[in-house]
Structure 1
Amino acid sequence: MRYNSVLKNMLEVDEAINYLDSLHLFPHPDRPKSWDISKIIHILNKADKGSFILDVGCNTCPILSMLSMIGFKELYGCDLYLSSSSKSQSEIHEFKQYNLSIQNLENTNYRNNMFDYITSLSVIEHGINIEKYFKEMNRILKKGGMLLTSTDYWQNKISTKNSCLFGMPDIIFSRNEINNIINSAEKNGFELIEPIDFTCKDKVVRWEHNDVELTFLFFALKKIRSI
């Protein structure tokens, strides 16, 4: 499987769902998101089940539940907001099981070199300071650890003026912007595990709330040095 790539068509979504099903996992409620989740699961399914894993922007994201289902125990999640201030018993159990916390991913209280893997599913397009993102991810990842990131993408710039989600801006990154993001990652101690396949075929994803079409992009980075 090639990891660093653009979601090209619905066939790739169907293949991703079939892969998740083969592991007795479930598709994402937003079907195209199963594509980037399947890449994360494919990478992590080969990892030591004792690995420390953090999901940033974890609110409503099913990745921690999936990782728990395939045997991981050291699971952490953080977000600026976590659903339901008045939690049911099952929700309280989930908070404890996954070590969830409310904090800014740009400036967390996790210890240095704590995590083997960090997952970031459709997070960086929502008002994240990219430079601070990579600096903090570098700080809390072990050397050789991996940062697994997906985001909204189209090769040419698509305007999303006045579009927001949970009060945060929606950005669809262009190829030039992704290149700048990767340059920032490299400055902050990361390298791509492989080149990104930018080939675009279809706008697979549709934002119904403002009638915009786009696709997703996934890239895996390895921490090669501390900064």
Structure 2
Amino acid sequence: MSLKILARMSSVDEARRTMVQMGASALESPAKQTLRRLGLNRSIKLGDHLKSWDMLETIQFVQAHVEKKEPILDIGAFASEITVSLHQLGYSDLSGVDLNKRVQKMPHNDQIDYRVSDFMRTPFPDEHFKAVTSISVIEHGLDQTALLQETARILKPGGYFISSFDYWIDKIDTSNIKIFDMTWTIFSKADVESFIVEAAKFGLKPVGQLDFACADRPVNCMDRDYTFGWLALEKAS
């Protein structure tokens, strides 16, 4: 399946339990959470339990399609759990980019190549990565042409762009809302279809079938109720 939609909140909890069992969870332990509340833990807080479902979908896709020595890039990497999770699973050629300068203080920064960079203009050479991941990033300040052009440039032929995003089948207006001082898009079915059409111009096509169905809105932010979508695209060989 190339496109999946989060159907219910229970799937989030189930996904986190699976991540813990497989050694992929990088969320803080209760003890570290307590130290943070006391002001004694000032490390970067990784991830979000709410993103467990799309995290697991991404990890399982990577495990099925990417060898552990092949290069992987995460865009919007500051406080992202995915690079640390993949590191814990034995992936050894990991990179991350973010505009936040603190990205270089992320865990395992001696083994993961974190760089301060706009992910629409990265410093990496052409056809370098086997996979590019993006967990809840592309809906903020969306410029899909620039994003897809750069992603296609740095992906190897046969490489994958794996992303998750805010979603609801019908359009939800967010035109007057900014998050992280950027515009916010809750992708509709039409938006995803447009994104896929644009991606094809750069040789990026869905890996499998598309399932747009959704019945519940388990996520709420800024008085908007919606869910999450997950999409995998492959660069033509």
2:164 counterpart residue number: 150
Task: Give the drift of 1:160.
Answer: 1.3
Distance 1:158 1:40 in 2: 25
1:11 matched residue in structure 2: 10
Q: Distance in 1 between matches of 2:214 and 2:101?
A: 34
Q: What does residue range 136-215 of structure 1 map to in structure 2 within 5 Å?
A: 136-207=150-221, 210-215=222-227
Identify the match of residue 59 of structure 2 among 41, 49, 68. Answer: 41
Q: Deviations over 1:160-189 (max 9, x none)?
A: 133222211211111111110010011110
Q: How far off is 1:128 after superposition?
A: 2.7
Is there any run of 5+ residues in structure 2 with no aligned partner, and where?
28-46
Render the CA deviation track for 1:178-221: whole Å, top value 9, x for unaligned.
110010011110110112211111101111xx221110100100
- Specify every segment of 5 or more residues in structure 1 that has no aligned partner in the other structure, as ranges: none
Specify which of 94, 118, 129 is matched with residue 132 of structure 2: 118
Root mean square deviation, CA, Å: 1.8
> Residues 195 and 9 of structure 1: is their aligned pair in 2 closer, same or farther, counting only changes over 3 Å?
same
Matched, 1:94 2:108: yes
How many percent of aligned residue pairs carry the same amino acid? 32
2:119 matched to which residue of 1? 105
CA contact (8 A) 1:57 1:77 kept: yes
Once residues 109 and 40 of structure 1 are traced to their aligned partners in structure 2, the CA distance between those partners, rounded to angstroms, is 24
Asked if 1:58 corresponds to 2:77, the answer is: yes
Matched to 1:42, the amino acid is: Q
Q: Is 1:31 aligned with 2:49?
A: yes
Equivalent residue of 1:135, what SS?
helix
Q: Structure 1 length as normaliser, TM-score?
A: 0.89
Task: Give a deviation string over 1:129-162, Cα, whole Å, max 9, x none.
Answer: 1011111111100000011011111111111133
Change (3 A) 1:93 1:14: closer
2:94 to 75, 89, 106: 75
TM-score by length of 2: 0.86
| Dislocated runs of 4+, deviation >4 Å | none
* Letter in structure 2 aligned against 1:20: M
Structure 1: which amino acid aligns with 2:79?
T
Following TM superposition, by how much is the alpha carbon of 1:11 offset from its aligned partner in structure 2, in angstroms? 2.6
State the alpha-carbon separation in 1 of the partners of residues 77 and 19 from structure 2.
Answer: 19
